[in-house]
Every structure is written in structure tokens, then in C-alpha cells.
């Protein structure tokens, strides 16, 4: 019996993680990528740690063994933080390496320290990510002038349901971010994978000179190292799964897919055992 193609499993609560997947397309052609948008459990940012860990564990239980998975990428900042302390246990239990957005943020900040030191740095994220202080602690080591926490629940929701480019979505994003206009932000950390989709709106509201730091590219680079890829091959096989069939989840995947992948592969509904 022919063994299935080696697989990279990438997971998020919604379509935001496609902003991470786009970087894999330039080198992961020898792999199949399974992308899971767990819309059934979205939003994560208003859940507690125990709830989020149970969701993350369900991803491993349902998808790792049966799909010849060689790497799990937790492409959700909230889930990455909530499960960070148990990621090694998950890796050992399921015999697969795990990389998360926390790993990406750490490398991103280290390699761009000149954009942190002495600067007004904003962290734009879900409530859970902000309240955890995980990214605050990482950034604080590099001596910013000030750290501004932006809880962007409405902005995340607008991207998740695919209306961020419609007037209703733009209005919600503006209302949520406008209160930070006087913070004189120099550098903004995109600490939710959704926010890559609205950088032009963020800059228009908070300042045209803002520089963005996105950990996604560093997650891709580290994944390539873990998998020991020495020769790039483009266009991996993509399988997109969603745990919800609602119009909002479909719209979210469609908008993000067309933006980050320049097309939208077929979306297959998937029911997970919880």
C-alpha cells in the first residue's frame, strides 16, 4: 500500500492562518498541506486556557496519525499561547514536531530589534493574547519606549466572517482602532494571523508611517529548517477543511483565500471528535 504524501498540518480558528500558509507555497511542494479552519469553535480569544487546550488537543487526536503528518503548525496566536507550555508534551505524545506563532514572534522580535528598541510598539491581538502578557514579556526584553496593547476583537471578527472590506466591517475596525490614533505608534506587531488582511486599513487609521512586524514568515522559515528542506519546490498540494458550513465561515475563507493564495481551493467540511 502506497504511503500518503508527507503532510504539514496547519491549524487556526478561522481563515487567518492562510496568511501563514502563503509563505509555505514557495518551498513546500514536496508536501501536502492540510489547513484546518476550526470555525465551529471560533472565537478563541474570549475562551479560557482550558477550553483552548482541549480544542488544540482535538486537532492532534483527529488529524495527526491518520494523515502522515510530519509537522504541526499552530497558525493561531491565541491557541499558540494557550497551548505553549504543553506543546512539547503534544509533540512527544504524537511523535511529531510542533511550531507555533509564539516561536515566530520570538524570532521576529529578535531579528528586528532595531524596530523595538526605544520605539512605541503596539501589540494588536485578541483579548486572550493581550491578557496573557506573553508577547508583552518578549517585547519588553528589547527595551521599547512604550508598549501599547490593542485588544482588537471586532477587527478580528470582521476578518473571520469576511466582511472586513465591506462598509460595515470597515466601520467596526475604525471604531475599535481610532482610540489609539494619538499613541504615536512606530511599530505594530500583527499578533493575530487575521490582521495581515487589513494592514492598509490599520495604517490609514493609526498612521501612514507605522511599520508592521508579522511573525508568519519566520514560522515558515523555521518550519523549513525543521523539515530539513534544502531545495525549494513550489505549489504544495492543499486540502482546506472547515468545521462549519455557515455563510460567514465560507465568506471568511473565500476572502482570505483569494487574498493570500490568489485562489480558493475546494473547502471540505470536517467533523471532529471532541
189 near 213, Cβ under 8 Å? yes
Q: Which residues pair with 267 in a beta bridge?
A: 240
Q: Which residues pair with 148 in a beta bridge?
A: 122
The per-residue pLDDT for 2 is: 54
The per-residue pLDDT for 265 is: 74
Q: CA angle at residue 16 from 100 to 44, to 5 degrees?
A: 70
The per-residue pLDDT for 1 is: 43
Q: Taking the alpha carbons of 160, 165, 171, 174 in that order, is the dihedral positive or negative?
A: positive
Q: Residue 182 corresponds to which cell in the numbers above?
A: 494619538
- Grouped pLDDT means (10 residues each) for the chain, 274 residues: 82 97 97 97 94 97 94 98 95 97 98 98 97 97 98 94 94 97 97 97 97 97 97 95 94 94 88 93
pTM: 0.95
Cis-peptide into 43, omega within 30 deg:
yes
C-alpha distance from residue 261 to each of 108, 194, 196, 256 (Å): 23, 14, 13, 8
The per-residue pLDDT for 73 is: 98
Sequence-distant (6+) residues with CB within 8 A of 233 are 27, 28, 29, 30
In angstroms, the CA 188 to CA 93 distance is: 36
User: What 3 state SS string does the chain have?
Assistant: CCCCCCEEEEEECCCCCHHHHHHHCCCECCCEEEEEECHHHCCCCCCCHHHHHHHHHHHHHHHCHHHCEEEEEECCHHHHHHCHHHHHHHHHHHCCCEEEHHHHHHHHHHHCHHHCCCCEEEEEECHHHHHHCHHHHHHHCCCCCEEEEEECHHHHHHHHCCCCCCHHHHHHHHHHHHHHHHHCCCEEEECCHHHHHHHHHHHHHHCCCCEEECCHHHHHHHHHHHCCCCCCECCCEEEEEECCCCHHHHHHHHHHHHHHCCCCCCEEECCCCC
Q: Quick: pLDDT tens for 200-229.
A: 999 999 999 999 999 999 999 999 999 999
The per-residue pLDDT for 194 is: 95
The per-residue pLDDT for 163 is: 94
The per-residue pLDDT for 261 is: 93
Domains and CATH numbers, the chain: 7-101+216-269 (3.40.50.1860), 103-213 (3.40.50.1860)
Amino acid at each position: 500500500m502506497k504511503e500518503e504524501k508527507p503532510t504539514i498540518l496547519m491549524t487556526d480558528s478561522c481563515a487567518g492562518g492562510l496568511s501563514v500558509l502563503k509563505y509555505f507555497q514557495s518551498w513546500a511542494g514536496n508536501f501536502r498541506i492540510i489547513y484546518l479552519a476550526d470555525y465551529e469553535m471560533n472565537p478563541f480569544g474570549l475562551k479560557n486556557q482550558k477550553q483552548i487546550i482541549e480544542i488544540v488537543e482535538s486537532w492532534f487526536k483527529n488529524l495527526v496519525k491518520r494523515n502522515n503528518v510530519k509537522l504541526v503548525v499552530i497558525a493561531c496566536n491565541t491557541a499558540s499561547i494557550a497551548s505553549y507550555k504543553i506543546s512539547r508534551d503534544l509533540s512527544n505524545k504524537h511523535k511529531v514536531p510542533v511550531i507555533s506563532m509564539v516561536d515566530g514572534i520570538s524570532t521576529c522580535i529578535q531579528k528586528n530589534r532595531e524596530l523595538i528598541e526605544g520605539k512605541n510598539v503596539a501589540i494588536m491581538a485578541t483579548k486572550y493574547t493581550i491578557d496573557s502578557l506573553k508577547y508583552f514579556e518578549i517585547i519588553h526584553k528589547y527595551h521599547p519606549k512604550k508598549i501599547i496593547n490593542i485588544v482588537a476583537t471586532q477587527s478580528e471578527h470582521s476578518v473571520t466572517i469576511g466582511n472586513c472590506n465591506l462598509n460595515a466591517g470597515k466601520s467596526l475596525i475604525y471604531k475599535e482602532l481610532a482610540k489609539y490614533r494619538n499613541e504615536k505608534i512606530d511599530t505594530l506587531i500583527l499578533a493575530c494571523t487575521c490582521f495581515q488582511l487589513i494592514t492598509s486599513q490599520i495604517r490609514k487609521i493609526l498612521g501612514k508611517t507605522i511599520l508592521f512586524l508579522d511573525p508568519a514568515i519566520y514560522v515558515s522559515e523555521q518550519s523549513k529548517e525543521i523539515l530539513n528542506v534544502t531545495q525549494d519546490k513550489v505549489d504544495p498540494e492543499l486540502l482546506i477543511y472547515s468545521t462549519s458550513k455557515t455563510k460567514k465561515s465560507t465568506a471568511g475563507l473565500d476572502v482570505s483565500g483569494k487574498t493570500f493564495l490568489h485562489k480558493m481551493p475546494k473547502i471540505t467540511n470536517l467533523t471532529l471528535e471532541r
